Amino acid sequence: MSESAPPGVAEGPAERGAAMTPEAVAAALEEMGRWLAQVPPPPAEEAAPAVPGGGLDLSTLLREFTALRHEVNLQTKAARAQAEQNAEALRRTQQALDALEAERADAARRQRGDADEQLRPLLRTLTELYDALAVAGRQTQRLRETLSAEAAAPPPAAKEEEPEPPPGRRSWWARWLGGAAAATQPWHAARLERERSARLAAERRLAATAERLGAALASLLAGYAMSLQRLERAMRQHGLEPTEAVGQPFDPERMEVLEAVAGSGRPSGEVLEEVRRGYLWNGRVFRCAQVRVARD
């Protein structure tokens, strides 16, 4: 249901676009004043805005709305500018954090590189010491096996004395000197007995010496094995790992060929023997292995 027009305002459609007369404006303002007077007052804690005396006119209302709109626009622009400043500050903060992170990573990489360069001579010394101990251990093992083989071999047979010829076949000199030979026979038997005793004593001394030497070589081999184990643990603690070579196909990035062996019965390119061990340091090649490979 449509409301009636205020007094003094024409209702015809032809007159709606015409300008309002001063009487109509005054009547409209008076009607708005009565409507505002009917609005209930705000609570006691909220003070009502003071209404200037003399009533409320349209120009004052428009001026207040214009000021409010201008203030809202200013606040919106200020909020937008503050948001842009915050975004710029966050962007610069992120850039600073990225730069600090990159600098920290570079510093850590340089420090790690310096530490690696300082550690490389130590690792090279450990590998060379391991090679020397391994070679000494192999030589000692061969010597021990040789001594064991000689000790297990039967002693050489004693030289048999030539039998005395029968009396009928002795020469004229033997028959003429038979008495002297008979006189010296006891002395000859005693000398042979002394020589046999000396030989047996020497064999016993040699066997005892071989036994003591074998025990010493066994202790030496045990010491070599313990030293090699400690070296391997030390190298693994620093990221140094030996490469597998024997029985593997030849890898030119990790191995060096010292000799190509023909007629081995193995596939061509397979590693037959590792002459010197190769190592990987933190996944990178530290030293290439020297090997012998099979060839057709």
Tens of pLDDT, residues 14-66: 444 455 677 877 887 787 777 777 766 655 554 445 555 555 677 888 888 88
d(CA 136, CA 142): 10
d(CA 46, CA 48): 6
d(CA 274, CA 292): 7
Task: List the CATH code of the domain at 239-296.
Answer: 2.30.22.10
Tokens at 147, concatenated: 């001594």
Q: Which residue has the higher pLDDT, 146 or 52?
A: 146
Nearest CA to 75 among 83, 63, 65, 87?
83
DSSP state, residue 270: B
d(CA 130, CA 153): 35
Mean pLDDT, the chain, integer: 77
pLDDT at residue 162, rounded to an integer:
45
How many residues belong to the chain? 296
d(CA 5, CA 28): 10
Coil vs helix vs strand at 280: strand
Write down the domain spans for the chain: 239-296
The backbone torsions φ and ψ at residue 259, rounded to the nearest 5 degrees and listed phi first, read -160, 140
Overall average pLDDT of the 124-138 stretch: 89
Structural contact between residues 285 and 264, judged by C-beta atoms closer than 8 angstroms = no
Residue 296 in this model has a pLDDT that exceeds 60: yes
pLDDT tier for residue 189 given thresholds of 50, 70 and 90: confident
C-alpha atoms less than 13 angstroms from C-alpha of 212 in its C-beta half-sphere: 5
DSSP state, residue 153: S
Residue 157 in this model has a pLDDT that exceeds 50: yes
Q: Where are the alpha helices (DSSP H) in the chain?
A: 22-37, 58-152, 172-176, 178-237
pLDDT above 90: percentage of residues in the chain: 11
CA distance from start to end of the chain: 112
Which residue type does 245 have? A
Residue 84 in this model has a pLDDT that exceeds 80: yes
pLDDT at residue 291, rounded to an integer:
93
Tokens at 62, concatenated: 């428009």
Q: Which residue has the higher pLDDT, 159 or 254?
A: 254
Structural contact between residues 269 and 278, judged by C-beta atoms closer than 8 angstroms = no
d(CA 171, CA 144): 54
pLDDT at residue 292, rounded to an integer:
92
